[in-house]
Amino acid sequence: MIPTAVAGLLVLVVMGCSESGGTQAAESDPAAPDARGSQTLRMTPDAIKAIGLKTEAVTRGRLQLPLQVSGRVTYDENRFAHVSAPIAGRVQSFRAHIGDRVKRGDPLAFIESPEIGRAQSDYLRAMAELGVTERAFERAKALLEKKGVSRGEVQRLEGEALRARAAVQEAKDHLTLLGFTDEAVARLAETGAAETAMPLVSPLSGVVVRHEAFTGAGVEPTQMLYLVADLSVVWVEADVPERDLARVQPGQRADILVQAYPDRVFSGRVETLGRALDEKTRTLMVRVVVPNRDEALKPGMLAQVGLLTGAGEDAITVPADAVQRDGERALVFVEQEPGVFAVREVTGGRKAGNRIEIRSGVEPGEKVVTTGSFRLKSDMKKTEMEAG
């Protein structure tokens, strides 16, 4: 007899009618043999639940054959920023390191500079002058009602107050340019206590991907200290040959493959086409915008880009993960009834995205196992070996 119990909640494999017409007994109620004389497998509801088995219907539809080109992952230029100090100075301390997640406005480092002290002094001096001129203007207005001062004097004092307000705004703008927040400026105005260093803040929320700020190092305004990027969306720049340009347009879907994740397809959309060909390669850069919520795609990765450029061709297809290889054979597991699956050899064809063309072996409407198909194949092979 063929051993039928496979460890744990594995499937019970039952040999149906073979191609030669013979049968083999099993130590359980056999599953109904497949009409094509194929091997069949039976699973209990608990076993199905344990491996998370899922099925999907075989469909007939338009198989979109992509235009395959090479490309590379880059930053979305709207979602990354070089951060530098607005003035020359020295790094007092730094807080952010490579890989740290930061929010917009978070301090990355603190910069010391004589200009910081001068800017704060200018602001405090302008605030004091504003207070003097506004009080003088208010007194003059009160005296004007009593004929104690001329209208011309009131107008002169009003002009001085306006100039003082403008000077305060100019001094505040300078502080803002240096990285002071509205809260920091308000605190300075209230307490009169000057800061010894200014915060270098992140202009966006994202991840620190470069860090050049070190305690005690001198810095210049043109020197990049940090690179912060939001990697939740990235660009893939694809190189499309000149001969294929007429097939590509904005809005088309693109499927992205990278070496790091060979079994995963990332989907994006063509956003823009370049304006000039590369004279050496005779290709045009096509930008694809790709959602990257788990940040699996990293700038600098090489990519294979499949651009879906046409209406496609009529074909019978199944999900790619439904097809399992057994030597030279391609197999799928067709659900005959709940818990009973026929092992069906198929002839595969072209692949588009996460679907594969099936030229023979299944019909539209039949249900094939997707999640769990590898487990079924493993159990099938194990039982075959145990049977000798």
* 12-25 per-position pLDDT tens digit: 333 333 333 333 33
The number of angstroms, rounded, from the C-alpha of 118 to the middle of its chain's C-alpha atoms is: 43
What per-residue confidence (pLDDT) applies to 17?
36
Give the residue with greater pLDDT, 56 vs 140: 56
Residue with tokens 């693109």: 254
Within-domain flag for 219: yes
Residue type, 234: V
- Among 190-194, 201-205, 368-372, the range scoring the smallest mean pLDDT is 190-194
Q: Is the pLDDT of residue 8 over 80?
A: no
What per-residue confidence (pLDDT) applies to 138?
83
Residue with tokens 């019978």: 316
> What token pair was written down for 75?
């930053």
Average pLDDT of the chain to the nearest whole number: 85
Mean pLDDT to the nearest integer, 241-255:
94
Contact between residue 41 and residue 377 where contact means Cβ atoms under 8 Å apart? no
* Three-state secondary structure of 243-265: HHHHHCCCCCEEEEEECCCCCCC
Mean pLDDT to the nearest integer, 185-205:
90
For residues 148 and 235, state if they share a domain.
no
Q: How many degrees, rounded to 5, is the angle at CA 166 between CA 165 and CA 169?
A: 90
Tell me what percent of the residues of the chain surpass a pLDDT of 90.
Answer: 56
CATH number of 97's domain:
2.40.50.100
For residues 379 and 326, state if they share a domain.
yes
d(Cα 207, Cα 212) in Å, to the nearest integer? 15
For residues 190 and 109, state if they share a domain.
yes
pLDDT band, very low/low/confident/very high, at 199 (cuts 50, 70, 90): confident
Please tell me whether the overall predicted TM-score, pTM, comes out greater than 0.75 for this model.
no
Question: Domain limits at 96?
Answer: 80-228
CATH number of 37's domain:
2.40.420.20
Mean pLDDT to the nearest integer, 182-197:
88
For residues 85 and 203, state if they share a domain.
yes
Within-domain flag for 5: no
pLDDT band, very low/low/confident/very high, at 4 (cuts 50, 70, 90): very low
* 341-362 per-position pLDDT tens digit: 999 999 988 887 678 899 999 9
What per-residue confidence (pLDDT) applies to 35?
56
Within-domain flag for 160: yes
For residues 114 and 215, state if they share a domain.
yes
Tell me what percent of the residues of the chain surpass a pLDDT of 70.
Answer: 89
State residue 161 phi and psi, 5-degree precision.
-65, -40
* 103-150 per-position pLDDT tens digit: 998 999 999 999 898 999 999 999 999 999 989 888 888 887 777 778
Q: Is the pLDDT of residue 68 over 70?
A: yes
